[in-house]
Amino acid sequence: MLELRDITKRFGEVQANDRVSLRVERGTIHAIVGENGAGKSTAMRIAYGFYSADSGDVVVDGEVRRLESPHDAIALGIGMVHQHFMLVETMTVAENIVLGIEPGSRAALDLKGAESRIRALSEEFRLAIDPAAPVEDLSVGQRQRVELLKALYREARLLILDEPTAVLSPQAVADLFAILRGMREQGKTIVIVTHKLSEVLALSDEVTVMRDGRVVGHRKTVETSAAELARLMVGRDVLLRVVKPESKPGEPVLAVRGLSLAGLDGERRLDGVSLDVRAGEIVGIAGIEGNGQTELIEALAGLVDRKAVSGSIELEGKGIAPLSARQRRARGIAHVPEDRHRRGLLLDFDLAENSILGAADQPPVAVGPGRSWLKLDAIRRKTERILAAFDVRPPDPDLPARALSGGNQQKLILGRELDQEPRLLLVSQPTRGVDIGGIEFIHRRLVEMRDAGCALLLVSSELEEVMALSDRLLVMREGRIVGEVDPARTSMEEIGLLMTGGDAAA
């Protein structure tokens, strides 16, 4: 029913889709799997008319179509349920569903008519949604069903669901699957974009695997296995070999017990996380992004509302849970954030002022009463030292941070944090958006820090990286540590299975 032929799409430097071709048969549930950044969402957004491809064709019901906007896709019977819900909380279900295609006249909205139609659809597909309910009262699972109703109301024959189970509890997932199967019986075609292999195996008829913007495989679900899919997903790319002497771990530096964090919507972002990091070792955390790694690092750095966090955090034997971010820095915790533009840099400030972020209250940079006077020459010396030691180019302290490339920005941040000579270094996605030379450089420096006695906690969604760098490797999924492995002796497939929940014991 839907076919993509040689779809190619580039966003700036990133090749999101590279000659992607796939084919969805009518009346099936088709899964598209891949890691974050594999290009699956992009391909589907092109199918939905949200983006337009640089080249290639979208074929609907056998005819090549030009999709200029979601309107065109909807007219052809394609509907999409986004990963992040597009709902207006203060309005009712019915109001949200009819937004944009309001029934009735200019002067009078026919909500009653809409409500009865929605009720009928809800019953037909067993969605159990009351159209008059305000969306803000609905649970996450229910809101997702409203999004489904939106598509059904517009008479979608093919429904694309983008990471639908990312925010659902296991029970809600089971409910959703029952509904999707019901829809398939009713003749609907379903495409589900996901990285969770257990779900693919449980639900789909066919599966297409994508990696790095390309389609790397297509199987009938009954003919494949989790292991095969995992292997296709993570690939047999050249493993970055980091020359790494044996680690000599020393005293425990970080001890975390039962760390839990509830998000704004009540969902548990961290669920009883416990881990240790000793001096002179790199503990890595592998996992698909969005499984609690961000929250873990931010909670340890003191950037999360301390009231929402429960559990204990000890640095060198002393509890630090009630301490502020500044106090934790003073105790020797440094942090390379995963989003360097949002958290790590003041883009419009020059390199000198960026090099003191997080350290502006320390001598020799700050002197005088209250450590309030900034010594410009000390700042400049510090900046030049960092720029030289970390090969930041161009090494001009007066440049705005915005002017540096991603790799150089990252080196600056790393240099700044390491200049603090921390006891514990929290590193998240250290080489995202960094070129090969920069990656090698950063990896080498991290190992050097380890050998100098620093304790490092490393989060990365690049499996090769975290396997190569870590002395011990923990795997995180759904806010929990689901396993610990020795990265030197474990295969990528095994780790991949832990990451994606492909193992039978979930």
Partner 1 sequence: MKSFRDLLFPLAAVAAAFAVGAVLVLAVGDSPLSTYTLLIGSALTWPDGIGYTLFYATPLIFTGLAVAVAFRCGLLNIGAEGQLYIASFATAWVGITFAGLPALVLVPLCFLAALVAGGFWGAVPGVLKARFGAHEVITTIMLNFIAIALASYFTQYHYKPPGDALLETVPIGESAHIARLGRFIPGFPERIPLNLAFPLALVTCLLVYLFLWRTRWGYEIRATGANAAAAQYGGIATGRQIVLAMAISGALAGMVGINEVLGYRYRYYDSFSSGYGFTGIAVALLGRNHPVGVILASLLFGALLRGGLFVDIFTEHVSKDLVLVLQGIIILFVAAEALFRGPFGRRIKGV
Partner 2 sequence: MSDILIVALLFSAVRLATPLLLAALGGLYSERSGIINIALEGLLLAGAFTAATVTHYTGSPWVGLAAAILAGALVALLHGIACIQFKADQVVSGTAINILFLGVPALLSGALFASTGATPQIPQNQLIPNLPIVIAFLLVPVTWYVLNRTPFGLRLRAVGENPEAADTAGVDVARVRYAAVMISGALAAIGGAYLSIGQSSLFARNMSAGRGFIALAALIFGKWRPVQTMLACLLFGFAEALSIQMQGVSQIPVQFIQIVPYVLTIVVLAGFIGHSRAPRALGVPYQEKR
Contacts to partner 1 by CB under 8 A: 301, 303, 324-329, 335, 337, 342-349, 353, 356-358, 360-361, 366, 370-374, 376
Please select the residue that binds partner 2; options are 108, 222, 504, 505, rule is CB under 8 A: 108
Q: How far apart are CA 224 and CA 235, in angstroms?
A: 16
Looking at the Cβ atoms of 55 and 372, the one nearer to partner 1 is 372
Looking at the Cβ atoms of 141 and 433, the one nearer to partner 1 is 433
Tell me which of partner 2, partner 1, none is bound by residue 239, counting a contact when its beta carbon lies within the kind-specific cut-off of 5 to 8 angstroms.
none
Q: Does 95 bind partner 2 (CB under 8 A)?
A: yes
Looking at the Cβ atoms of 344 and 438, the one nearer to partner 1 is 344
Question: What type of residue is 246?
Answer: E
Looking at the Cβ atoms of 111 and 226, the one nearer to partner 2 is 111
**Burial class for 420, CB neighbours closer than 10 Å (0-12, 13-18, 19+):** middle
CA angle 351, 356, 361 (to 5 degrees): 160
CB atoms within 10 A of CB 236: 9
Q: In angstroms, what is the minimal distance from the CB of 415 to partner 1?
A: 15
Q: In angstroms, what is the minimal distance from the CB of 306 to partner 1?
A: 13
Q: Does an H or E element contain 494, and which?
A: helix 492-500
Cα four-point dihedral sign 107, 111, 113, 114: positive
Q: Does 90 bind partner 2 (CB under 8 A)?
A: yes
Q: How far apart are CA 312 and CA 252, in angstroms?
A: 15
Contact indicator for 335, 351 with CB cutoff of 8 Å: no
Please select the residue that binds partner 2; options are 12, 107, 305, 489, rule is CB under 8 A: 107
Q: In angstroms, what is the minimal distance from the CB of 372 to partner 1?
A: 5
Q: Does 41 bind partner 2 (CB under 8 A)?
A: no
Q: What are the residue ranges of helices labelled H in 356-461?
A: 376-389, 406-418, 436-451
Please select the residue that binds partner 2; options are 16, 87, 352, 379, rule is CB under 8 A: 87
Tell me which of partner 2, partner 1, none is bound by residue 346, counting a contact when its beta carbon lies within the kind-specific cut-off of 5 to 8 angstroms.
partner 1
Q: In angstroms, what is the minimal distance from the CB of 85 to partner 2?
A: 8
Q: Give the largest CA-CA distance in the chain.
A: 76
Tell me which of partner 1, partner 2, none is bound by residue 90, counting a contact when its beta carbon lies within the kind-specific cut-off of 5 to 8 angstroms.
partner 2
Q: Does 100 bind partner 2 (CB under 8 A)?
A: yes
CB atoms within 10 A of CB 363: 10
